[in-house]
Structure 1
Amino acid sequence: MIITLRELEKATNNFDSSRVISGGGHGVVFKGILDLHVVAIKKSKIVVQREINEFINEVAVLSQVNHRNVVKLLGCCLETEVPLLVYEFISNGTLYNHLNVEGPISLSWKDRIRIALEVARALSYLHSAASMPIFHRDIKSPNILLDDSLTTKVSDFGASRYIPIDQTGVTTLIQGTMGYLDPMYHYTGQLTDKSDVFSFGVLLIELLTKKKPFIYRSNDGDNLVSYFEKMLAANNLVGIVDPQVMEEEDGDLQEVATLAMVCTKLRGEDRPRTREVDMTLENLLVRKKLVPCIITQRRNNEDGTQVQHMSIESVTNDSSRQYTMEEEILLSASYPR
């Protein structure tokens, strides 16, 4: 949808500073009222070609994406030197803010692993089910938005890249956030889907430890990933994992910690694909009865041919979830037939 500058000025009280809700590397975000709906409006901070390219890139990427765990782009304004982007408004802040509240208690362990699963689903969709594979390049807790029900919305696609289906990677200028950045991508400039896997693994460690990857240093000078790996190898997770997680986890901490370690292997080829990560977490939550189980059945048509039908069996009375067609295809391919 093309939106006029006049409409956006009216929606934000002429971009009043009191309407600013966040400011990141790719622009300032304003809260506005447009056609009686609350929206988020992103405006570039600096008029330079790189900012223009990033905004255009974000429009190109998000206009091709439709997933419940990716923030929706509603429209844009092309009257300004740098396009203004209009998104659905996500009301509950970022994962980073929820993890780093003051006091000993933040997000519950159940919410943390569900959020991890939803991020993995979004990445699996971007890598495997979008019309052309998309690599996010900046997965981190400040870019994970949460709505009122703590449902995940992956945001900030200014650094994302399309990758032609016949290519496994592409050489690019390095973009990302230190602490989350794939070291092999940093050293070689070769971007692959495994670069997002590394960043996701760091995010998983962040969910486990409540430590900030971009500033954390152990007493020995190790970064968060290195120190976490040492603690896991020494069977001493209590020395690094958030005490709240240690208290709430129910026998699944080791499995999630091992997945985080595998995702952050130095060599990209040693890391799993996002679809494998998605299914590992999905299976874990199904066992814990926190998400519905997907059941596949075979039936005979009138002509005698077999067709496969999919149904969702809720494993808890209050569990419900809508799957996109792409998610259903991926899930059905991963369960026994």
Structure 2
Amino acid sequence: NLVSPAHYLFEFACFNLHVGVGISFVFATMIISWLHFLWKRRRYMKLKEKFFEQNGGRILQRELSKLQGQSSEKAKIFTEEEIKRVTNNYANVIGRGGSGDVYKGFLPDRTPVAVKKSNIVDHKKNDEFINELVVVSQINNRNVVRLLGCCLETQVPLLVYEFVGNGTLFEHIHEKDKGKATNNLSWEVRLKIAAETAGALSYLHSETNVPIIHRDVKSANILLDEKYTAKIFDFGASKLVPIDEIIKNTILKGTSGYLDPESCQTSKLTDKSDVYSFGVVLAELLTGEKALMSDGQEERSLAMHFLSSLEQNRLLEILDGRIVNDGNKQQLKEVARLTARCLSVRGKERPTMREVALELKGQYF
């Protein structure tokens, strides 16, 4: 029953063969996996380069280089990896809207930021988009949310803004059912918010290198900080307009209830379109009603309701009861008359934002 040495040698050779095949298989698998990883990474880098080009990255780099030494606040171009670190891989959604989603994040120095993932832009209009991005990034006004930078390596551009953490004016006035509306908006605070917003719009219209028409002024686009300082947000629909120029055949932008009726009829855009929308915001501040009022069956325009009530001398009946007292009725009437001028159907009859800002500033101070 003794096993011959040849048998042991055969088993030993078979064992070595199996081990060799196993090691070769593992090694081959590792090589294939590594090559697949390199291929995927190369494909990913190519895709990022494609998006960067499509979103106008080269144009933006060229335009920002022209600002070297002119502005310390110029926009930064973030990489996609940086944005993922800033947002913790998009973990904290703080807002969803028709123009995109907003995520809260932190820069490496722990500065809080809001990262907006925009809807798909028209790549045929990259020059216009980049031009607006460069100009808006240079806006230096305490009542305009500051644009810190962007990321163009994704399918849709990501915009990085300063974070303003006390919600929107819309929430503070209207969202009682969600527990967001507060009683902290006294008339004095509302007048302060109105004066600051008007001042910021006046700045955009007349104090930037190229005038900017916001085109979507509404209470939901006015953010408030902890001290109820107003900050205008969301320039996704904004338009750069040479001085005294009227934009014809414009595509309608904005939100129902705030849209300038003259622009809707003529397809012409001027700075007076923002004045009308701001008039609706003033009406919201005065009445506590939404831009589109609902009686359970149909929606009515707050602007038309406000003008009709003013003509019928029923102003005190429609004012928000939280802001009326014997000491401010005259001031409320003055602001109501200004609101009516802003809501004029004819743009020529509306004041400029500069005139509105000066009048509100005079009322507040």
Decide: shared fold, TM above 0.5.
yes
Deviation at 1:50, TM superposition (A): 7.4
Deviation at 1:37, TM superposition (A): 1.2
Residues 37-72 of structure 1: CA distance to partner in whole angstroms, max 9, x if unpaired? 11110112x445379869646524412311111000
C-alpha deviations, 1:59-114, integer Å up to 9, x for none?
24412311111000111112112221111000111000111242783511101011
Residue type at the aligned position of 2:111: H
TM-score, length-normalised on structure 1?
A: 0.78
Q: 1:60, 1:126 → 2: CA distance?
A: 14
Question: Is 2:168 the partner of 1:94?
Answer: yes
Choose from 242, 254, 271 the match for 2:333. 254
Q: Distance in 2 between matches of 1:58 and 1:249?
A: 45
What is aligned with 1:272? 351
Whole-angstrom distance in 1 between the partners of 2:229 and 2:333: 25
Which residue pairs with 1:68 in the alignment?
Answer: 142
State the SS of the aligned residue for 1:6: helix
Q: What CA distance in whole angstroms lies between the structure 1 residues aligned with 2:78 and 2:210?
A: 27
Instruction: Decide whether aligned partners of structure 1 residues 62 and 91 sit closer, same or farther in structure 2, where only a CA change above 3 A counts.
Output: same
Q: Distance in 1 between matches of 2:284 and 2:124?
A: 29
Per the alignment, in what secondary structure is the counterpart of residue 246 of structure 1? coil
Describe the superposition over 1:95-142 as per-residue Cα deviations: whole angstroms up to 9, x where unpaired: 001112427835111010110001100111111111011100000000
Fraction of identical pairs, as percent: 49
Residue 10 in structure 1 maps to residue 10 in structure 2: no
SS of residue paired to 1:32: strand
> 2-side partners of 1:5 and 1:127: how far apart?
33
Residue-pair matches, total: 283
Specify the alignment match of 2:106 in structure 1: 33
Matched residue, 2:223: 145
Deviation for aligned residue 1:204: 0.1
- The answer to whether the aligner puts 1:167 opposite 2:245 as a matched pair is yes
Structure 1 residue 28, shift from structure 2 partner: 0.5
The structure having more radius of gyration, on CA atoms, is 2
Contact 2:214 2:238 in 1 (8 A): yes
1:202 equivalent in alignment to 2:280: yes
**1:295-310 correspondence to structure 2 within 5 Å:** none
Gaps of 5+ in 1: 287-337
Distance 2:185 2:350 in 1: 27
- Find the counterpart in structure 1 of residue 36 from structure 2: none
RMSD: 2.4
Deviation at residue 268 of structure 1 after TM alignment: 0.3
Q: 1:184 corresponds to which residue? A: 262
Distance 1:55 1:86, change over 3 A: farther
Give the 3 Å change call, closer, same or farther, for CA 98–48 of structure 1 in structure 2: same
Q: Does the 8 Å contact 2:344/2:350 carry over to 1? A: yes
Instruction: For 2:362 and 2:290, locate their aligned partners in 1 and report how far apart those are by CA, in whole Å.
Output: 28
CA distance 1:272–1:52, shift in 2 (3 Å): same
**Which structure carries more helix by proportion?**
2
